[in-house]
Amino acid sequence: MLFAEAILSIVMEIASLFGLAMTRSDYNTPMNKTPFSLAPEYRDYVWGGARLRPEIVPTAEAWIIYAGNRISSGPYAGRVLAELAEDFGTDLLGTRAIARTGNRFPVLVKILDCAQWLSLQVHPNDEQAKKLEGEGFFGKTEAWHVLESEPNAKLIVGIKPNIAAETLTDSIRSGTILDKVESLEVKAGDTLFLSPGTIHALGPGLLIYEIQQTSDLTYRVYDWGRPETGKRKLHIEKALAVSNSNVTTSVLHAPQVNDGDVKTLAQCEYFKLETIFAEKKTIDLDTLGESFHGLTVIEGQIQVSAGATLPGTARQGKCAPHATSSRRFFGSAGERETFILNKFETLLIPAICGAYQISPLTKSRVLKASV
């Protein structure tokens, strides 16, 4: 498979010299089934903290699964995820993703370190995004899972009951919206699903896992007195166009889980977020060719095994230079591959991979993103 991949890459490079744009799909070349890690991209917004990159403060966000990530392990190391989605389509993304967003990678997953209040903001739905921004833009439906929470940490979700639309409009324009919004205290393990049109903000003391549509359209409503800059503006008119005072958000508290359980935290037409708890049991999972699976460890350490289940003595292999600290192993008697993932490390399972296993090396919790 690796030799064929190398030959095909050479053929594509030669074709490009003659002005021919070719992808692997032109040759019906299947994707290598190997799971792979992604190099996170970071955003240094003003509200960020020190938990994501202690050496660079503030660091606000780590984009851990998104189209622009560079692959850091496996046969496609060095390439960008969006390129693989374009080249391999269903093999990487799965049939459900292709049906909704074509060869565009369908989700964006982040970890947010909130040391200050984020702006009060709102996101459009698909129809509004197309109307306000143009063709090719998607709305932003999202879900939050609280990873860490300091005592009394709060967030804002939605508008208080019985606030008329006209009153909401006046308060947005005048910058007096804070007394109209709902604030909630949350703790680690809580999950919230946010529909487009929900005015919201994350507060200080929170570390958040966020999954959303493949969009980062954000309309700021209020920014806590921070000065407007070219990169940080308010979007009052667009916010008014998409805000919905009638949408509500409830908190799903951490579900009761037993060893080996896989439970859904949030699900909609755009994504599915599940929690996996493993203490001693090995858990069998399968993409069924329907969707990629993005695994992020949020507690403990796990071993992920994919490919043939032939017996063999594992040997340690070398990671790509920009890989996470996950170690990679190869079975000597077949194509079985095993990856070790530590806290906050992520592994992407291509849809073509099919069946795989998660084995806990310590008591572990994992978040699984899919569509």
Catalytic residues: 220
Residue type, 122: V
The residues pairing with 340 across neighbouring beta strands, listed in sequence order, are: 303, 327
Rounded to a whole number, what is the largest CA-CA distance in the chain? 69
Asked whether 341 and 33 are in contact (CB, 8 A), the reply is no
* CA-CA-CA-CA dihedral for 105, 108, 109, 115, to nearest 10: 160
Q: What is the CA radius of gyration of the chain?
A: 22
Distance CA 299, CA 210 (A): 16
Cα–Cα distances in Å, from 215 out to 100, 194, 340? 14, 14, 30
Distance CA 144, CA 156 (A): 12
Residues in the chain: 371
Distance CA 107, CA 97 (A): 9
Distance CA 368, CA 275 (A): 6
Bond before 58 cis per omega within 30 degrees: yes
Closest to 155 in 3D by CA, of 165, 167, 164, 143:
143
C-alpha dihedral sign at 254, 257, 259, 263: negative
Distance CA 152, CA 1 (A): 53
Geometric angle at alpha carbon 88, from 315 and 90, rounded to 5°:
100
| Residue 162 Rama label (left phi>0; alpha psi -120 to 50; beta) | left
For 370, the token pair is 């899919």
Asked whether 164 and 226 are in contact (CB, 8 A), the reply is no
